[in-house]
Structure 1
Amino acid sequence: MTYQIRQLSLGGVLDQAVVLTKDHFGVLFRIIAVTLLLPLIAQSLTQTIAIPQLSSTPTPEEIQAYLEAMAKFGPVMLLTSLATIVATFIGNAAMVHGIASVYLGKPLTTKQAVKRAFGVFWPLIGTSILVGLVLFAGLLLLVIPGIIFFLWYALATQIVVVEGISGVDAMKRSKELMKGNMGSMFVLGFVMLTINVGINLGGAAMVSQPHVRAVLTSFVQCALMIFGTAVSVVFYFSARCKHEQFDLQLLADNVGAEVVLEAADEDE
């Protein structure tokens, strides 16, 4: 399957993300299942089973029961939360690698994607911490600087995974690629936020049984993560095509590979 690897409009980015998700959902879901799904389910079920739900106007007894449950099961919830955070980094990196591979027409296996994720785990953690500190500082100053910093460094994860650049260099690289793309990223982020909130709220309202809802929500979040990552990866390559003519580089590489193959066939 050949995809449109060029500078794309917002509609084009979303369209390519939908096609990528549909064409490769099986292998992409296997990747997310072995990295993130189980920790996510464990966290959701732990919270559902151990912590009582507060009503809209909680009574003193309900508040007391809630605080006692938090004190009793707090360590377990902390453990599952930490496991989910680690799994999220691994799953996200594996998903970025997987979607980038199929988008560029390269072969993909679950093992390959997970191996790449573990290979960039610590660089990704370090880069994320740096980005988080900058975003926090921006929010302390005013909300607007925080939003600007978020847009500047929105492609840091893709750069770490795809290009192997990390830390401050990845942040500088992201800022360069985001020149002229910040408005598009802002709108795209708003669209994705609306989709996520709408689907999560709608799914939660359709299922009344809390344990089933916890498991179903985990599956839905993983599916949304696949699509969201596809959107971000397509946007990343679109930005590269805009600033670096990546589409022409890719075409030249493919033509070069075809010439080599033809020469080899003639020699035979």
Structure 2
Amino acid sequence: MKYAIRLFPILFFLAGCVGLVRLSFENGRLVEQIDQLEAELGGMSIEDSDRVYMVEIETPDVPPEIASHVERVWQFRCYLPPGYSFMRTSGGGRVAKEGIYSSGGFSTSWSMPAPKAIHSLLTLCTRRKDGRFEAFYSFGGSSGTSSWNRFDPGRLDNTLVVQKLVSSDQGPRSFNQDTILPVLKIYDPSGSETVEVDGETLTTYPGGLILLCPKSRESELHQLRKGETPTEFDPSMVATEAGS
């Protein structure tokens, strides 16, 4: 009887060891899955659920049938807090090196606030089509194409200036919900022209941009796009590019 009493603890201990090994194995597989997911979508830790988070995906995952039709691709993983109401604006014409001044055609769409937080993938592609330069976006289940008519499609090369709100080299960034977010701006530095706007001289370039603007900043966005300075303007209303 005493041998049987000793046997039960031994069997229980062995079963616990087997379970621990199995759990360690499953944890290892889970870590691998998390690492793969972060490699695909970008690692991003949400420390404040009321802020907007964004991180660039270093190697965008684009199907071959799409990749063969585009010149360049950028992808960003975005976290949008509950109740965040924003507008997505994209288009091209002429842009300034700093700020969000732009002249030319633009398309805009509003996103209704969601009761829960949203993790979404923002994809931006550029291509040449019929002698024009086009920018395609896909974000949160919607998509669209903007024709950047003043952009020379023959200059789709490394001479272009690309300004990104976030960079894979620097990792994720977070922003408060009242900040205008210029996600990506592209321009040709060789095509500079000066214009007089709101009593000031601006140097502009052929190019385009895509940005997210919160509902609270709609009026400021319209003024800033025209090169005007809103009343009581605070530079922190507009997020700056990564590294600046």
Q: TM-score, normalised by structure 2?
A: 0.26
Query: Is the strand fraction higher in 1 or 2?
Result: 2
Over alpha carbons, which structure has the higher Rg?
2
Higher helix share: 1
TM-score, scaled to structure 1: 0.24
